[in-house]
Amino acid sequence: MTLTSPGPTLGVVGGGQLGRMLAEAAAPLGVDVVVSDPTPDAPAAPVARDQVVGDFDDPDTVRELAERADYLTFEIELADPDLLERVAAETDTPVHPDPETLRIIEDKLVQKRRLAEAGVPVPEFREVNSVDELREALDDLGYPAMLKARKGGYDGRGNVPVESSDEVGAAFAEIVDAAQGGSQDDPSGVAMVEEMVDFERELAVMGCLGSALNDDGTHERATFPVTETIHREEILRETASPARATDSVRERARQVALDVLDVMEGRGVYGIELFQGPDDEILLNEIAPRPHNSGHWTIEGCHTSQFEQHVRAVTGRPLGDTGRRAPTVSTNILGDVDDRQDATLSGEDAIFETSRAHLHWYGKHEVYHLRKMGHVTLVGHTDAAVDDLLADVREVRDGLTFEQ
């Protein structure tokens, strides 16, 4: 592979913070990025070469993006796999991960069925198309359980815990409103329910499929170090690597992630969310066919970030070293205001005054309650304790506010 100026162009469906960080990682590799997003001046726009303004599933928008790119990828599951496949064929622009993978992952029920068939350990689950079916499923699974929208939903939206039989009707109505493609008049096909896993901790592995072929004909695979993810109100608050689990648990999590990669098609990074359940059993939670919030720490914490790795993979370059430089934690900067308002952050001096702390600001113009506005990464020395790093980064985060 040779370097030229201008170099290849990567088209990204989605111009949010993930698109922004992909563009930041692509530039040193000599790769230009063009994004498409319905929001003018999206977060990725200031650092990408250009933005095509249009909906994620708008044919003209996606076709223009493909015509301007040498490779296509996506940073949001709202991309239409059928449209991506058609446009890629018409413009001879390869798209990765493969649209078939997006079809598997975008519907959580299809995702769970496909992985269970492949032998990947998953929680017990049921398809539910009505309140009566939900009640019957909960008779089998027991209370509490987690009701999920099959399509759509993120940052806790689209997940509703059901604690008792009294909550079934209201929970089902809430999930139908949150789901993509459903209505209260016809709620079929929009919901599934899972057993509530009594987990010890939540884990994540950023896995990657590359272009190089192994001797057995399979594609090159790589995993980043197993990470502990700390959620509250179904929203990721902090990550810690190494995860505070035993070596055997971390290795089991890595092996499950590799099994997941065997089911996926197409090059790129995959965010693989896991539960460490009873008796240290590892169960798959969900998969994202793209870089993921649980891997943001890799920007400073690893020799190759998840974003550089995704660019390398999609553009057919060798994968980078996924080794961790040192113990690393991160914390999300979330909106702490109730009403939408202009995004003005106060208290950020503490980040710059903290040794080995790194600010990532997503460039969103508006803030509202629990919206992800940025993150802070703290890299420790090689012998640093994760608990100490978490305490330090939380102290910095707790001094940040959007309140005026």
Q: Which residues are annotated as a binding site?
A: 108, 148, 194-197, 202, 231, 285-286
Cβ-contact 269, 290 below 8 angstroms: yes
Strands 71-74 and 9-13: parallel
Task: Classify burial at 138, counting beta carbons within 10 Å of its beta carbon; exposed 0-12, middle 13-18, buried 19 or more.
Answer: buried
On the CB side of 179, CA atoms within 13 Å amount to 29
Query: Backbone phi, then psi, for 245, in 5-degree steps?
Result: -135, 170
CA distances from 108 to 77, 138, 192, 295, 316 (A): 11, 18, 8, 21, 29
* Cα separation, 34 vs 52, whole angstroms: 7
Quick one: tokens of 324? Answer: 């961790």
Angstrom distance (rounded) from CA 132 to CA 91 = 47
Q: Which amino acid is at 44?
A: A
Binding residues for ATP: 108, 148, 194-197, 202, 231, 285-286
Q: Is 108 helix (H, G, I), strand (E, B) or coil?
A: helix
Pairing of strands 145-149, 159-162: antiparallel
Query: Are 123 and 168 a contacting pair, CB within 8 Å?
Result: no
Q: b vs e for 245-257, b when ≥16 Cβ sit within 10 Å of the residue's Cβ?
A: beeebbebbbebb
Cβ count within 10 A of residue 398: 11
What is the rounded CA–CA span in Å between residue 234 and residue 161?
10
Angle of the 81-91 helix axis to the 59-67 helix axis, nearest 10: 40
Contact status, residue 397 vs residue 336, Cβ threshold 8 Å: no
